[in-house]
């Protein structure tokens, strides 16, 4: 059994990370999941959350919002709509995410209200988790 797998984190604008990982913790829509080498092929959508990548040299954390993760036989690819290394997240950035989500919530019809409210709560939870309060 392989000890590591290829992990890629890409956003629409660029590739953020490409490394050998031992485990990847993904904030899935239906709950967190950890992918390790030889995980069953899975595709899951993401909720706003913190993505943790464990490598031989330590763990790296990214804040991701939306998108999906593809766990395949060759490795794990996370396609995030917006992603940023945890250390670079600023209060302004969280603020703009939150403002966007609230904006979307206002536009959402009765069908989307629940999803929009959940999204706002998720983003707020991320802020609490990493200790950066939205400004």
Partner 1 sequence: MPSLKDLKNRIESVKSTRKITKAMQMVAAAKLRRAQDAAEQARPYAERFNAVLAGLAAGVGESESAPKLLSGTGDDKVHLLVVMTAERGLCGGFNSSIVRLARTHADKLQGEGKTVKILTVGKKGREQLRRDWGDKIVDHVDLSEVKRIGYANAADIARDLLGRFDAGEFDVATIFFNTFVSVINQEPTAQQIIPADFEAPEEGSSTLYDYEPDEEAILADLLPRGVATQIFAALLENAASEQGARMSAMDNATRNAGDMIEKLTIEFNRSRQAVITNELIEIISGAEAL
What residues make contact with partner 1 under the rule CB under 8 A?
Answer: 8, 10-15, 28-30, 33, 40-45, 66-68, 70, 72-73, 77, 79, 81-82
Q: Tell me whether residue 14 or residue 131 sits nearer to partner 1 (CB atom).
A: 14
* Tokens 């939306």 sit on residue: 66
- Report whether 78 contacts 26 (CB < 8 A): yes
Q: Which is nearer to partner 1, 34 or 56 (CB)?
A: 34
CB of 96 to partner 1, least distance (A): 10
CB of 55 to partner 1, least distance (A): 20
User: How many other C-beta atoms are found inside a 10 Å radius of the C-beta of residue 67?
Assistant: 18
Q: Smallest Cα–Cα separation from 69: which of 112, 25, 20, 124?
A: 25
């Amino acid at each position: 059994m392989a000890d590591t797998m290829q992990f890629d984190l890409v956003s629409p604008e660029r590739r953020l990370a490409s490394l050998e990982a031992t485990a990847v913790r993904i904030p899935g829509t239906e709950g967190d999941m950890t992918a390790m080498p030889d995980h069953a092929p899975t595709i899951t959508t993401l909720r706003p959350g913190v993505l943790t990548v464990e490598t031989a040299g330590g763990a790296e954390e990214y804040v991701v919002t939306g998108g999906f993760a593809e766990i395949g036989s060759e490795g794990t690819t996370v396609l995030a709509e917006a992603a940023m290394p945890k250390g670079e997240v600023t209060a302004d950035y969280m603020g703009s995410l939150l403002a966007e989500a609230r904006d979307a919530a206002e536009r959402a019809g009765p069908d989307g209200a629940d999803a929009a409210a959940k999204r706002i709560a998720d983003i707020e939870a991320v802020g609490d988790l990493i200790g950066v309060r939205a400004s």
